[in-house]
A and B are shown apart, each in its own frame.
Chain A
Amino acid sequence: MKVIRKIIEIDEGLCNGCGQCADACSEGAIRIIDGKARLVAEKYCDGLGVCIGECPAGAIKILEREADEFDAEAVEDYLKMQGTSQESSKTNMQTGGPSTLNRGSRSSGKDKESEKGKVQTGPASSYLTNWPVQIRLVPAAAPFLKDAHLLVAADCTTLAAEDFHRDFLKGKAVMIGCPKFDDPAPYINKFTDIFKHDGIRKVTALVMEVPCCQGLPMIIKKGMELAGKDIPLIQIVISTKGKVISRKKV
């Protein structure tokens, strides 16, 4: 039923596709499609404009126009449908923007449709479920770290591993950094803060066989120490040819 009511309008010219509005919308009424925010359906938008405050580009406005009535039941069905696909869904990075944060916090089934028809075999599919991934950028209280099995991967391992996604990333939240070039002190602080949050179940440190990589497990261990936590830590070393050389508890 069409009624005259308030509803959002997105100016595609101004939209930079950052996805913050989509994260803010609890109905999941906005999705990033082809790099622009789009209203999925009129009936999912209550017109209250929570998304507006999140838009850094000023691209969202509230209009009063003829539109489908907001439909709470349809929203619930829609979210439920997305929820069931959550288990297998992997966030499609193409649909997000550069500043999209904490993807784990939103219903990660959102991009399901854009993956339809894609054959998900081996290296072609991404198991990345969180963003950001840089150790420096991940907030200590990031929702995706809650109850997570955390993979801390040295930068080079992501290239060296035969199938990083399938063999190491699947089922984990990931953070990456380089123990050779990056400053260890801020990393130790970051891990201390993260471990203090009571979220992480288990940590896997993935490093290269080269000596300069050996600092990474130490940094993680130091973080646990300072946080007063003893979380199981597994260290996996891979060769420059991408083979697993060793796998041990630290």
Chain B
Amino acid sequence: MRCPGQDTRYWKPGDIFEAPCPTCGNILEFFKDEPARSCKNCGHRVINPRMDFGCASYCKFAEQCIGELPPDLLAQRQELFKNRVAIEMKQYFHKDFKRIGHAAKVSRYAEQIALKEKADMAVVLTAAYLHDVGIKEAERKYKSAEAAYQEELGPPIAEAIMERLGAPAKLIKEVCDIIGHHHHPRPDETLNFKALYDADMLVNIEESRGNYLSNKESLEALIDKKFLTETGKKLAREVLLK
């Protein structure tokens, strides 16, 4: 198979463009992936002004292809990774829009909490998108969406998704660990876990409002007792008690 980044069938309009030679002004045609071209008029070697290694921001073989990645590309890569985790999650849940919506909402709150609490955004968001992926297997295997079953069956699925996207081993390990006990905090939890836990808790309360305490004081007591971060508590009060 050919690398899609090099395959012109996947190119967009504008990936082949014209630029003037800086010495003589002669118009040269560039392909986005060629580093330089000689000017036919004056022979000057013109550097491609819009060289685009866009594919390197998402390709898991980018390092092998173009060597060590520059910082801006690395940043772009992390951003793209998050988006692709979201898309994978969505494909996994297929037409189960409730769960897709749940994951999207948990990610939204998790992002807000992680930002304020200065948790690791990549870990928190990846865990937020994937935290419930065990549910389908749990329903199939145990005929139950019970938290313990989800925690048992989720990590291998999450691992496969992250590996496919070329995530670093460290991230995979931490995210799987979080997913593997996301309803059961240990005595000494990481900040990353807490951010996901609070976000999930908040969405769960929101989604089952009717079953939860409608009484304002007891809801407040619940928030104080259950939520693990200050930002999580604050956000929960804003969302649930307003």
Is A72 in contact with chain B by the CB < 8 A criterion? yes
Is B105 in contact with chain A by the CB < 8 A criterion? yes
The total of chain A residues at the interface (CB under 8 A) is 21
Closest to A75 in B: B97
Report Cα–Cα, A185/B101, bound state, in Å.
Answer: 49
The A interface, classified by DSSP as helix, strand, loop or mixed, is loop
Q: Is the CB of A49 within 8 A of B87?
A: yes
* Chain A nearest CB, measured from B101 CB (Å): 4
Q: Is the CB of A57 within 8 A of B12?
A: yes
Report Cα–Cα, A71/B12, bound state, in Å.
Answer: 34
* Chain A nearest CB, measured from B133 CB (Å): 14
Q: Is the CB of B105 within 8 A of A70?
A: yes
Report Cα–Cα, A104/B87, bound state, in Å.
Answer: 23
- Please judge, given known A-B contacts A26-B90, A48-B90, A49-B86, whether A58 and B12 are in contact too, CB under 8 Å: yes
Contact of B104 among A48, A73, A79 (CB under 8 A): A48
Report Cα–Cα, A75/B89, bound state, in Å.
Answer: 18
Q: Is the CB of B83 within 8 A of A49?
A: yes
B204-226 near A? 1/0 per residue, CB < 8 Å = 00000000000000000000000
Q: Is the CB of A46 within 8 A of B100?
A: yes
Is B95 in contact with chain A by the CB < 8 A criterion? yes
Q: Is the CB of B12 within 8 A of A72?
A: no
* Chain B nearest CB, measured from A143 CB (Å): 15
Q: Is the CB of B97 within 8 A of A5?
A: no
- Please judge, given known A-B contacts A57-B12, A70-B101, A72-B100, whether A48 and B87 are in contact too, CB under 8 Å: yes
- The 4 lowest CB-CB distance pairs between A and B, nearest first, are A72-B97, A72-B98, A72-B101, A48-B86
Name B's A-contacting residues (CB within 8 A). Answer: 12-13, 83, 86-87, 89-91, 94-95, 97-98, 100-101, 104-105, 108
Name A's B-contacting residues (CB within 8 A). Answer: 5-6, 26-27, 46-50, 52-53, 56-58, 70-73, 75-76, 79
Given A46-B97, A48-B104, 6 extra CB contacts under 8 A: A48-B90, A49-B87, A56-B13, A57-B13, A75-B97, A79-B95
